[in-house]
Structure 1
């Protein structure tokens, strides 16, 4: 025969798992801030240096070659790049004219706003 014995063992509560928390001193926060700020400072310096040379190059280029005169067109309600291209250059392919107008005015996606001034490339100006 087998026998079963029942005992009353005391239940010991398990200790909660302790997480180690990162504790930064004032010096540690300063070092972390400096490490994070260095790439930002380098990016700003590079942008300032490259932007300054682009401005200087465009000023120098305009001085040596003269300024180009462009005709401007004001966008009216209902105007599209296609209708402006057909009006400005009726004999040219509108797709080519639209491409050149977009590049000259740095348009993205062909979105126009009423009252916007568009520069027309020199070969299509009257």
Structure 2
């Protein structure tokens, strides 16, 4: 599986925490812990764990509907997480990481995203757009 976005966000927090402790970053400039609260990280990880299990269950040559069902489920769950965080859980950079993670996870499982999106009349990077509110 590709690297989870939550791993990236936790690394940001750790880097800022270390920089504040070393005195190289003003605590007022350390925003990552506020941007990525524990509640957001924990629930996002739970959603991604379920997504990973769904992707693994797809098998070797999944039907388009099965793949899109997995994408729909993860996107709708991420919508709920974002809403629970006042619609501000996932900003532009976070959205891009989440979309890339979904895409990369499917590709790593052997899904031909280009062929799937073409058959569905979608652009290559539009697989989440139908359901995504974040």
Q: TM-score range by the shorter chain?
A: under 0.3
Q: TM-score, normalised by structure 2?
A: 0.25
Q: Between Structure 1 and Structure 2, which shows a larger proportion of strand residues? A: 1
Q: Which has the larger radius of gyration?
A: 1
Q: Which structure exhibits the higher relative contact order, with contacts defined as CA atoms closer than 8 Å and separated by 6 or more residues?
A: 2
